[in-house]
Amino acid sequence: MCLSIPSKVVEIDECNMATVDTMGIKRHVSLDLIADEIHIGDYILIHVGFAMNKIDEEEALQSLELYREMLEAMEEEERRQVIESDDNCENRTQA
């Protein structure tokens, strides 16, 4: 019921309706509930035929960046653990 999907604005007409693209599927949504000025190329959340808001690209990118850093830190940690366990291995055979 609260299903809302991020979509990209590809066209805006004079009736305040936008054509949005969701992974190659296009449809019309109303911009009547949006106070911000919407431009082509903006990302908006759509719900039952209306745009609900403009997605904050900066915030989205920051979240994605945070996840990337988290993965890097974790990989680094794992690498360290592998090396440590390797160092502690007594039965190491010479390569």
d(C-alpha 54, C-alpha 39), whole Å: 10
Residue ranges in 17-76 that form contacts with other proteins under rule CB under 8 A: 21-28, 30, 32-35, 43, 45, 47-50, 52-53, 55-57, 59-65, 67, 70-71, 74
CA dist list (Å): 52 to 79, 82, 94: 44, 48, 63
d(C-alpha 4, C-alpha 51), whole Å: 9
Supply the minimum distance, in Å, between the C-beta of residue 72 and other proteins.
10
Residues that bind other proteins (CB under 8 A): 1-8, 21-28, 30, 32-35, 43, 45, 47-50, 52-53, 55-57, 59-65, 67, 70-71, 74
